Amino acid sequence: MTDYGLLYAASRERVSALVRDLDEQRAGSTVAACPSWSVHDVVAHLAGTVTDVLAGRLEGVGSDAWTARQVEARRGVPIRDLVDEWGGGSPQFEDGLRAIGPPLASVAISDQFQHEQDIRGALDEQGGRDHDVLLVTIDAYLPGLAIRIGEAKLPALRMSAGAHHFEAGEGTPGATVTAEPFELARLLGGRRTPDEIRALGWEGDPEQYAPLMSAYGIPREPLGER
């Protein structure tokens, strides 16, 4: 049985170790996937999310305005202090993920996964590609993808990642895309360009599906991840 709290905690500890001792210049590195944010801002969002959830500040949860308030409230706060804030509330937050389970816990894991990789991309530090996290992240995006495929009146899309297979939509799949779990998780989270999506292994026409793959929009320029 998946321990969502443990998955979140492991990622938090990796990110905390990565950013805690960054100097101001490195903490100010631009995050390509969140171009208006720096590494510091992403950590502020992660810390702010835990603090806001535990305080019951959930109006507009996940919206641009909700996350922007988290970042603005912590502007100028040393990144080490952000890590301490994040770690202070996380045990309770992680227990909450265990209690609620999917789909809400899966959404929290997917957000944490994407931002860990966003930070790693900005700092040119590979890692954090835990297999269980990748599968949970892919699962978290399937309901939204299914809705978009249905609204476009397209047949289902099948996604294959090694021994794992996923479907979004209704009926017999009209296309299949094959990729590593990491690539599927990142593209579903809006971190791959249309050209990068089309370059994956496709059976069927990718043109109808590529614009639907992410609820967050599709970047115009590659993130340059290794």
- Provide the pLDDT for residue 146: 98
| Of residues 197 and 225, more confidently modeled | 197
Q: Is the dihedral of CA 77, 81, 87, 88 positive or negative?
A: negative
**pLDDT per position as a tens digit, 33-91:** 997 899 999 999 999 999 999 999 999 999 999 999 999 999 999 999 999 999 999 99
- Provide the pLDDT for residue 1: 83
What band does 119 get if pLDDT is binned at 50, 70 and 90?
very high
The structure tokens 């949970």 sit at 136
What band does 132 get if pLDDT is binned at 50, 70 and 90?
very high
- Structural domains of the chain, with CATH: 4-123 (no CATH), 131-212 (3.30.1050)
pTM score of the predicted model: 0.94
**pLDDT per position as a tens digit, 174-188:** 999 999 999 999 999
CA angle 167, 169, 172 (to 5 degrees): 75
CA-to-CA distance for 79 and 87, rounded, in angstroms? 12
What band does 167 get if pLDDT is binned at 50, 70 and 90?
very high
CB 94 within 8 A of CB 8: yes
